[in-house]
Amino acid sequence: MPEISKVLVANRGEIALRVMRSCERLGIASVGIYSEADRDAAHVKAAGEAVLVGPAPARESYLKVDAVLAAARDSGADAIHPGYGFLSENAAFAQAVIDAGLAWIGPAPETIRAMGDKQQARMLAQAAGVPVVPGSRRFETGDTDGLLEAAETVGYPLLVKAAGGGGGIGMRRVDTAEKLVETVAATQSMAEKSFNNGAVFLERFVPKARHIEIQVFGFGNGKAVHLFERDCSLQRRFQKVIEESPAPGLPQDVRQAMAKAAVDLCRATRYSGAGTVEFIVDAESFEFFFLEMNTRIQVEHPVTEMVTSVDLVAWQIDLARGQLAPVDQDAIRTKGHAIECRLYAENPAKMFMPSPGPLTRFALPAAAADLRIDSGYREGDTVTPFYDPMIAKIIVWGESRDAARQRAIAAMRAVEVEGIRTNRDFLLACLADPDFAAGDVHTGFIEAEKARLLAA
Amino acid sequence: MAIVDVKTEITGNVWKIVVGVGDSIEEDGAILILESMKMEIPVAAPEDGRLVEILVAEGDTVTEGTVVARIEA
């Protein structure tokens, strides 16, 4: 196993700072990288040393494999931590890091590649016995052979989807068997005209869905543990807004079944490092289906760290250098409730459009045992249009969900931002909303309650 | 015939200019596409007209409220 004495953190903002904090705790030096737009950024100041990798656009700097590898070589780093986003799930980059003789702090390149391919990931999940969204074979135009039986197997309500479609185009919902044959015929005919391909297939539709994911950690030898779940149902435009653990109202047997499925997938793939297995969960029946696996540390990992007291990044580094003591599943306990709020530079009233600009005022509450602040910005910094709109994560802990919710409200009230627009008030409205307070969360919540939340 | 200013409502970088001077354009049709915080956001014509002037170039950074083009409506 490689000796790790200096880690190049191939990222920016809060996650770069986060990784550097664990390096420091482990007595390992860290090197930052930055683009021309980030010369004075907090993560550059915090790094022992930092290397310029290119101009402001990410594809010319943070995503530039050669420049990042050169920075590692020139600074004498012996390992690379990719954070999330950017190059973190780029299998070719992971391989290039290994080929350069450096330690890659992440899963094996083959695993990253396999999980990055939706079809392959679904097959791996099925092979490991993990439930996937039920689907049928393809039905070409005029073919209705065994259609009703296929629909029974998939289950209602279902979607008739054009094989050549995508992004919601060429999709029709069917609630009962009576409407099936005519809807399939209509979709085939429409698909023939729109995509020049009449083939359709059936897929189960979950009308009220929750997004619940399991944090896992694999040791690369077929052993793996889970660190319980995170509920990330509150989303806008497929971006998570509030995450929490435990998932409110999730029956204990479902929680255990989901955790087992996630661990089974890790064991079957000999997964190495931190990962997240995402599930779509029917909010009424609690049936759950595999969505995808993220082969990186995730934005919302602090939620898990708050309830388990595990330093996931330290585990990643220790695994990469062969110094992670065996972890027993029974030793991982969850205590209380954690909630994370993502503060975005955006304008909720204008369809959550980005709002970059100068942070003329940027005051965040002081961290405490029950309050963690992960941010890559300081007052006086400018939020540029080049990168992600997230400017801070406010993570709280409480004995109960309601205590955590109240703590989150107090913490968010103490957030003061001037110079740009943010979703601060929108987050407060979500936290105070009676449905959210009752734990009635689902992925359509923000879209359905937008008017009410914006008016609050 | 009136000349109408086309303003951007967000801060971002001009990624692509999709129509040329002299082209006619319909209300809500995209004139250019901005890139901001990993999103592509079109700047659209406020009404039907003909594009008479483009005041930015691809790669420029524009701030909220900037006049990026003018149309003859």
The answer to whether residue B40 neighbours chain A at the CB level (below 8 Å) is no
Question: In sequence order, what DSSP letters do the residues of A418-437 get, joined into one string?
Answer: ESS--SHHHHHHHHH-HHHH
In chain A (456 residues long), the average pLDDT of successive 10-residue segments reads 92 98 97 98 95 96 97 98 96 98 98 92 96 93 92 94 75 93 92 86 94 97 97 91 98 98 97 97 96 96 98 98 93 98 95 95 97 98 96 98 98 98 97 97 93 90
Which of the following CATH numbers is that of domain A209-455: 2.60.120.580, 3.40.190.10, 3.40.50.720, 3.30.470.20?
3.30.470.20
Residues of chain A with CATH 3.30.1490.20: 147-204
- For the A6-105 domain, the top CATH level (class) is alpha beta
Residues of chain A with CATH 3.30.470.20: 209-455
Portion of chain B with pLDDT greater than 90, in percent:
89
CA–CA separation, B72 vs B6, rounded Å?
Answer: 11
Tell me which chain B residues have a C-beta less than 8 angstroms from the C-beta of A349: none
Q: For residue B22, what is the domain's CATH number?
A: 2.40.50.100
Domain range enclosing B55: 3-72
CB atoms within 10 A of CB A451: 8
Q: Which of A210, A255, A296, A407 is catalytic?
A: A296
DSSP β-bridge partners for residue A202: A160
For B62, nearest residue in chain A (alpha carbons): A385
CA–CA separation, A9 vs A1, rounded Å?
Answer: 20
Compute the residue count for chain B: 73
Which pTM does this prediction carry? 0.92
Question: In sequence order, what DSSP letters do the residues of A153-212 get, joined into one string?
Answer: HH-SSEEEEEEEEETTEEEEEE-SGGGHHHHHHHHHHHHHHHHS---EEEEE--SSEEEE
Task: Note whether A389 contacts B9, CB cutoff 8 Å.
Answer: no
Instruction: Classify the phi-psi angles of A142: left when phi > 0, otherwise alpha if psi is within -120 to 50, otherwise beta.
Output: left
Largest CA distance in chain A: 68
Instruction: Let me know if A296 is a catalytic residue.
Output: yes
Task: Note whether B37 contacts A356, CB cutoff 8 Å.
Answer: yes
Assess contact for A392 and A377: CB atoms under 8 A.
Answer: yes
Tell me which chain B residues have a C-beta less than 8 angstroms from the C-beta of A353: 9-10, 36, 39, 41
ipTM above 0.90, yes or no: no
Nearest to A357 among B11, B13, B41 (CB): B11
Tell me which chain A residues have a C-beta less than 8 angstroms from the C-beta of B66: none
Residue-level pLDDT at A391: 98
Nearest to A354 among B10, B61, B63 (CB): B10
Residue-level pLDDT at A341: 98
Cα end-to-end distance, chain B, whole Å: 6
Residue-level pLDDT at A398: 98
Residue-level pLDDT at A166: 67
Residue-level pLDDT at A456: 81
Calculated CA dihedral for residues A398, A399, A400, A403, nearest 10 degrees: -40
Task: Note whether B11 contacts A389, CB cutoff 8 Å.
Answer: no
Total number of domains in chain B? 1
What are the tokens at A227? 């660190």
- Confirm or reject CATH 3.30.1490.20 for domain A147-204, answering yes or no: yes
